[in-house]
Amino acid sequence: MTGFVSFVSSGPGDPELLTLKAVKRIRDAEVILHDHLSTIPVAAHAQPGTKLVNVGKRAGHPSTRQDDINRLLVKHAKTGARVVRLKSGDAGIFGRLEEELIALTTVGIRFEIIPGVSAASAAAAAVGIPLTRRMTARRVQFFTGHDITGGFPNDVNIGALADPAATSVVYMAKATFPALTKILIAAGLSPDTPALLAEAVSTPQERSAAYTIDTLANHLIALPPEHDAPTLIIYGPLATPSISFD
């Protein structure tokens, strides 16, 4: 028997941001492989008896290897089970989705992808800003703040990242943003460019604060090592909150 895998986007943390289709797939699932940040929707919607497997990854913490996740997906699907692979945010944004799709297609297992609310969209909504604006912010770019070594990637288009007319969203950037800021300023981006630091987006622990790229870099340098809340950074002409959470 061959089962079916639904790649379900759980959103950034708030269960109410799940789509109706996502909730249905979670309720129908016999096996759910979920990320570390996707446990709230599992507890809220999974049926009793559903097999829950935590395959989450966290920087600086013990994590499930990607090869093992791929193997588990194939293993459970081959039993004929309805499998949900629950991913944080939107499954297609920095979730290593393609690697899992390849593992399934290689052995002929069918799948579907259910999109969801990204952390970037939720962070912007929480502070009352758009991600685009006519004339002054007509482009949005998402990029990762580190490569497989933990440092800032050295193969990115710095000119694009330093574009003052773009909204730039940096995932997993807390450790490398100070180094990135130096690069951006050297490439011509003003140190006074607005920047938003969003932590634990759409969860009860959510915190957002406004900086410039320069002051944010200094803030991150001063953070203690144990400060490990999931972090997103938005910088560009729109990164000035209109809602205060003080």
Whole-number Å distance between alpha carbons of 152 and 37: 23
Phi, psi of 189, rounded to the nearest 5 degrees: -75, 135
Extract the tokens encoding 41.
């929707």
Q: Which of 21, 24, 57, 182 is catalytic?
A: 57
CB-count exposure of residue 226 (10 Å: 0-12, 13-18, 19+): exposed
Active site residue 57: yes
Active site residue 35: yes
CB contact set of 148 (below 8 Å; sequence gap of 6+): none
Strands (E), 88-200: 110-114, 139-144, 166-171, 194-199
Q: Which of 14, 90, 163, 172 is catalytic?
A: 172
Catalytic residues: 35, 57, 172
